[in-house]
């Protein structure tokens, strides 16, 4: 078990990032079972980010007898001190409320309690923060590792970062989320002992990307065959899968992002082909377990071809997100979701759109921001949303909005 200390005795503990991308619905049955459940062991490695909504505060787990820990006494750090210490590309972001949240990067995790103006470093690991997830403002996890390893170190705090311990590993690089202080999912991996051991849940054959299990029974996955894709769900821990939507696709589905904020809720982003610094994609949403679907977004591009589920230049009457490539997807609840767009050939690369009615309508918000790296988006409701833009040759910058993205404030510039 590892703990981190700062010179002079101040613990640099880690904290969280809370965290989160059509076509007509079909009912073709697809029954699938993968390899039988087996134990998965993880080695030190890396993870991914994204973000569902905050969950109510569960009971705090009891610290095991004899478990080492280190105390910190967080105090507000001057903005210039925080800025000089929180350098490099920001790789993770999560909010606990409209003013408090966590960010992470290479060799650091920090917390803000003043809306992002100042940051207090809580942990100085030897590797990069890949994802932070929290059940509330005190109970949180962070995955750490380098970009060339499959599994990640998993760190856990139950007091907002005052004590931080290594609890286990995450065996893959999928989006991970905890549903209780002991139970979590990362793709098809499932733990019930805070990451100490993991088992694999069955998934359908021909799956593209990672599945998403909302809980131990309910999960979602995307499969692909020649000219078609299926969005499938399970209600029995992956033992059987059935297609709840089938779509025709002129191009391939090359990536999948799935988020869920309820057992019958699923947001499914399908990523198509790429070319000329452009990537096509589509976004679908169901709130009734797949009985009906809303075609939320369909972004085809001249250089990358049609959006999955649509024909090129088809009059779909489906909204387009701004930019010519997908940015980060953050789902707050079944009604509210934010999605960034990127235009890698533009001076101001980053934009954002949102829905507040489950995808029936889409609003592309004003605001264009520089930065050619990966976006970090986090939100607590339909109004309070944060965006961090990144770049390999410029500092990461935090922008916040308290009116759903209509106006933005530039509140913090991280160190180069």
Q: For residue 313, what pLDDT is reported?
A: 74
Asked if residue 44 has pLDDT above 60, the reply is: no
Spatial distance between the Cα atoms of 27 and 291, rounded to a whole number of angstroms: 8
Asked if residue 189 has pLDDT above 90, the reply is: yes
Asked if residue 246 has pLDDT above 70, the reply is: yes
Asked if residue 361 has pLDDT above 70, the reply is: yes
Of residues 55 and 307, more confidently modeled: 307
Q: For residue 85, what pLDDT is reported?
A: 66
Q: Who's near 399: CB < 8 A, 6+ residues apart?
A: 367, 369, 386, 387, 388, 389, 408, 409, 410, 411
Q: For residue 99, what pLDDT is reported?
A: 95
- pTM score above 0.75: yes
Spatial distance between the Cα atoms of 22 and 245, rounded to a whole number of angstroms: 8
Q: CA 413 → CA 63, 88, 183, 388, distances in Å?
A: 37, 11, 36, 9
Q: Cβ distance 338 to 379 under 8 Å? A: yes
Q: What mean pLDDT do residues 312-323 have?
A: 88
Q: Who's near 67: CB < 8 A, 6+ residues apart?
A: 1, 165
Q: For residue 80, what pLDDT is reported?
A: 38
Round the average pLDDT of the chain to a whole number and report it: 82
């Amino acid at each position: 078990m590892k703990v981190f200390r700062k010179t002079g005795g101040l613990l640099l503990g880690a904290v969280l990032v809370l965290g989160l991308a059509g076509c007509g619905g079909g009912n073709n049955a697809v029954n699938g079972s993968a390899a039988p459940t087996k134990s998965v062991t993880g080695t030190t490695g890396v993870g991914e980010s994204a973000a569902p909504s905050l969950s109510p505060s569960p009971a705090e787990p009891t610290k095991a007898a004899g478990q080492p820990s280190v105390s910190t006494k967080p105090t507000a750090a001057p903005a210039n001190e925080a800025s000089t210490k929180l350098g490099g590309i920001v790789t993770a972001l999560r909010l606990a409320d409209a003013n408090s949240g966590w960010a992470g990067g290479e060799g650091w995790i920090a917390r803000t309690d003043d809306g992002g103006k100042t940051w207090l470093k809580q942990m100085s690991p030897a590797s990069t923060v890949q994802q932070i997830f929290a059940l509330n403002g005190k109970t949180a996890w962070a995955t750490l590792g380098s970009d060339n390893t499959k599994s990640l170190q998993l760190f856990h705090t139950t007091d907002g970062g005052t004590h931080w311990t290594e609890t286990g590993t995450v065996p893959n690089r999928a989006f991970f989320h905890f549903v209780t202080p002991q139970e979590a999912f990362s793709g098809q991996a499932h733990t019930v002992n805070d990451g100490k051991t993991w088992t694999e849940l069955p998934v359908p054959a021909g799956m593209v990307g990672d599945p998403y299990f909302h809980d131990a029974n309910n999960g979602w996955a995307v499969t692909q065959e020649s000219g078609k894709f299926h969005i499938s769900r399970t209600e029995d821990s992956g033992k059987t899968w059935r297609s709840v939507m089938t779509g025709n696709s002129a191009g391939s589905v090359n990536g999948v992002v799935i988020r869920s904020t309820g057992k019958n809720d699923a947001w499914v982003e399908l990523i198509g082909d790429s070319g000329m610094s452009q990537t096509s994609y589509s976004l679908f949403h169901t709130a009734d377990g797949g009985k009906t679907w809303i075609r939320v977004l369909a972004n085809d591009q001249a250089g990358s071809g049609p959006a999955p589920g649509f024909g090129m230049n088809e009059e779909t009457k489906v909204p387009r997100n701004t930019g010519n490539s997908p940015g980060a997807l953050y789902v707050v609840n079944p009604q509210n979701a934010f999605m960034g767009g990127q235009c890698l050939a533009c001076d101001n690369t980053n934009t954002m759109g949102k829905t507040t009615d489950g995808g029936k309508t889409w609003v592309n918000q004003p605001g264009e921001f520089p930065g050619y790296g990966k976006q970090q988006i986090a939100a607590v409701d339909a109004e309070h949303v944060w965006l961090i833009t990144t770049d390999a040759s410029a500092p990461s910058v935090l922008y916040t909005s308290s009116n759903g993205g209509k106006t933005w404030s530039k509140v913090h510039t991280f160190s180069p």
